[in-house]
Amino acid sequence: MFVLPALNDSHHINHVKEFIARGYDVDVYGFERVDRKKVDYGFETHILGELANESYKNRIKLYLKSFKKIGKNYDNANTVFFLSGLDLSLFFVLLNPGVKYIYEEFDLRHTYMPLTGLWEKIDKRIIKKSLVTALTSEGFIDYHFAGVCPENVALMENKLNPGITNYVVKPKSFDKDRISIGFVGGPRYDSVYNFIDVFCRNFPQFDFHVFGGPILPQFETLRKYDNCKLHGFFKNPDDLPDVYGSIDLVLATYDVKFENVKYAEPNKIYESIYFETPIIVSSGTFLAKKVKRLGIGYDIDALNEKEVINFVNNISEKDLAEKKKCAQGIDKKLTLNINDDFFEKFEAQLKKGKK
């Protein structure tokens, strides 16, 4: 029984579809985000309301209105709830004590809040009481447990919809006179904006593409550059081959002033590997360590104008070819949303609970 904070999010849709593909009976409840494109879920959903970037006070009202009613509709002995996100999970468990649940942590949201230490204790308590906790980044194991993974914690990274294998990875040739860099997703963060601004201002002969939305007012100002192309929303996974087929590198620099960013593992790394497109990430992050280890990209301080200019000036066909070769050497199956390890641990925990 899924309870999700954003139904119209490919991340959550992929997880539901994987449970269905593995033969589980599912019901799906959740909220739609007004700032995201409507999608065809491919399964029945129960919409609890719409969430915007409103205050937590209004969000909590929606939680209180919905969650106790949902909990009463299901037989606890035969139901496991899949709860996604700290605030949603906390209120659901408080209103429905004793339920069996999977807790999915897709970001360290509490690191943005006051009293982070207190929220961390609450977060770890929710993890401890879960049947299994699914973390979307190896870095979260470092953050919570100093790299030592508890028995009931498994990785469930935000990888690609397996349907992507129905599409061909398009070949592309490098043109040093027309370098093309892209950002894929909803553009935000000062480091992303600064990189694009510096790139477009200093290299008018090169192109920067933004695929995704919504386009925030800050990023709308980039339309002043003729070489900045804001394409808006695209269909995932259908449009991804064309998206990655049109760029030489993919930008995934996020602001390291946020603790969450230092440990998160966005799905861009898996898209980068699958489509053999070198990735640019922020220095001083878990993601930077992983990119270096795999040899598939670069890390920079995207808020430093001189560093951005120096990076672009030193892009070479030979180096990009080496990064691409490293990506080609990684089994593409490892980039797909196929979470055998998670399901093995989940089913073992279920059996353990029945003894």
pTM (two decimals):
0.87
- Is the distance from CB of 248 to CB of 276 less than 8 angstroms? no
For 35-93, the DSSP string reads TS-----SS--EEEEEE-S--HHHHHHHHHHHHHHHHHTS-GGG-EEEEESHHHHHHHH
Q: Say what the pLDDT of residue 288 is.
A: 97
CB atoms under 10 Å from CB of 121, counted, come to 11
b/e per residue, 150-166, with b = 16+ CB within 10 A?
eebbbbbbbbbbbebee
Q: CA-to-CA distance for 104 and 84, rounded, in angstroms? A: 5
Could you tell me which residues are beta bridge partners of residue 31?
49
Strand order from edge to edge, sheet including 80-84: 46-51, 28-33, 2-4, 80-84, 100-105, 132-135, 153-155
For 213-268, the DSSP string reads S---HHHHGGGGSTTEEEEE---TTTTHHHHHHT-SEEEE---TTSHHHHH---TH
Cα–Cα distances (Å) from 276 to 103, 117, 291, 320, in that order, read 32, 39, 13, 10
Q: CA-to-CA distance for 98 and 83, rounded, in angstroms? A: 14
Q: Which amino acid is at 230?
A: L
* Domain parsing of the chain, residue ranges: 2-158+337-354, 164-335
Q: CA-to-CA distance for 102 and 83, rounded, in angstroms? A: 6
Q: Say what the pLDDT of residue 37 is.
A: 61
- Is the distance from CB of 218 to CB of 191 less than 8 angstroms? no
Q: Express each pLDDT in 10-55 by its tens digit.
A: 788 889 999 999 999 999 999 987 666 666 678 889 989 887 665 6
CB atoms under 10 Å from CB of 304, counted, come to 16
**How many residues can be counted in the chain?**
355
1: exposed, middle or buried (Cβ count in 10 Å: 0-12, 13-18, 19+): buried
Q: Say what the pLDDT of residue 36 is.
A: 61
The phi, psi pair for 280, rounded to 5°, reads: -110, 120
Q: Which amino acid is at 54?
A: E
Q: Say what the pLDDT of residue 152 is.
A: 95
Specify the DSSP element, H or E, that contains 4: strand 2-4
Q: Which fold has domain 164-335?
A: Rossmann fold (3.40.50)
The label of the residue with tokens 């670069």 reads: 298
- Is the distance from CB of 34 to CB of 214 less than 8 angstroms? no
Q: Say what the pLDDT of residue 56 is.
A: 73
Q: Which amino acid is at 211?
A: F
> Closest Cα partner for 35 from 158, 161, 186, 184?
186
| CATH topology match: 2-158+337-354 vs 164-335 | yes
List the structure tokens of 288: 């930077």
DSSP state of 334: G
- Is the distance from CB of 327 to CB of 244 less than 8 angstroms? no
The label of the residue with tokens 């201002």 reads: 201
Looking at domain 2-158+337-354, its CATH superfamily turns out to be: Glycogen Phosphorylase B; (3.40.50.2000)
Q: Say what the pLDDT of residue 201 is.
A: 98
Residues in the chain, pLDDT under 70: 34-40, 52-55, 353-355
The 3-state DSSP composition of the chain as helix, strand, coil percent (nearest 5) reads 45, 15, 35
